[in-house]
Every structure is written in C-alpha cells, then in structure tokens.
Amino acid sequence: MPKGIYKNPIERSKKISEKLKKGILSNCLNCNKEIYRRPYEIKNNDKLFCSRLCFWEWQKGKTKNKYNKDQTGCKNPNWKGGISSLNNKIRTSPEYKEWKQNIFERDNWTCQKCKNRSSKNNNLILHAHHIKPFALFPELRFDINNGITLCKECHNKEPKGRQINAL
C-alpha cells in the first residue's frame, strides 16, 4: 500500500492527532482555550487563536479601545500639530452642512441651471454653489441667499472662486 493512504479513516485521524500533539500547548488569546501550535507556527507567530470567530471577537475588542477619548487631538500618536486648513475646518463644520441642506431643500433638490432633479430613480449628484465666492466673501459663507443648487456638470462649468475677478 502506498505511503500516506490509510484504509481506515479512524486510523488516519489518529495519525493526524498524534502529529498535532508534537506541537506545543498554548492558549487562545481570546477565550484561553488550549490549542496545539506546531513549531513553525510559533516561529512565525501564527495560530494564536482557536478559531476565526475568536480572532474576530478579539479584533473587535482591540478596535473599540483604539479610538477612545484619551487619544483625541494632541494626545493621538498621529497628531501633526493641528495642520488642518481653515477652509477644511469650515467645510466640515455642522454649520456648513446645515447651510448645504437648507440650499438643497429650498431648491427642491433640483439643479437651477438645467432643471434636472435628484430622486430615487435619478441619482443626480448635487452641489451647493456659492454665488459670491467662498474665499472672497467670508461674511456670506453661511447666507442661504448666497447659495444655489447645481448638478455636478453645471457646477463644473461655473467659474471658480478667484476666477470671477478676471471676468
């Protein structure tokens, strides 16, 4: 009979379990269940968990603690000294998001140039456009009368910020 082929499946499973027992007894990092680790798994730091489910549960626990309040702002190891631009801070602020929402609602989710409307069937990308440029008129940034709803195509055709002075 060729090497490695067993007539009896029980005999085969006994051989496999004997090979596993040649490893080192270790504990699962998540549930502390005893598992056997082969020498190459120890060397490569593999098979630290008894199952994928245990790994996923352990991973969830790690990500919960990763973003706690003790690591926000300057306490975060990735902090680079508050280098976010003022423009970025304003455009991600709740006031700006509310301004955009108010513009869209006022214009009934319709582009004011081509009159295309965004709906469930027509997934049109809309932009809230400042009539007087964002950079040149800081006092009008959150003024609803300084905004208009445009689709992406019409918004790309509009002159940008400082280009209006050249016209």
Q: What's the mean per-residue pLDDT of the chain?
A: 80
> Considering the chain, what percentage of its residues have pLDDT values greater than 90?
26
**Which of the two residues, 37 and 150, has the higher pLDDT score?**
150
Strands (E) in the chain, as ranges, are: 24-27, 34-37, 126-130, 147-151
Q: Encoding tokens for residue 89? A: 């801070």
**Which of the two residues, 108 and 14, has the higher pLDDT score?**
108
Whether 111 contacts 124, CB under 8 Å: yes
The pLDDT of residue 67 is 53
> 54 falls in which pLDDT band (50, 70, 90)?
confident
CATH level 3 topology of 86-166 = His-Me finger endonuclease fold (3.40.1800)
**Which of the two residues, 92 and 64, has the higher pLDDT score?**
92
Instruction: Kindly report the number of other CB atoms within 10 A of residue 129's CB atom.
Output: 18
Give the predicted TM-score (pTM) of the model.
Answer: 0.50
Listed in sequence order, the residues at least 6 apart from 74 whose beta carbon sits closer than 8 Å to its beta carbon are 81, 82
Domain ranges of the chain: 9-66, 86-166
Q: Encoding tokens for residue 73? A: 């702002």
Q: For 34-77, give the DSSP string.
A: EEEE-HHHHHTT---SSSHHHHHHHHHHHHHHHT-GGGSGGGST
Q: How many CA atoms lie within 13 A of 89 on its CB side?
A: 5
Whether 24 contacts 39, CB under 8 Å: yes
The pLDDT of residue 167 is 47
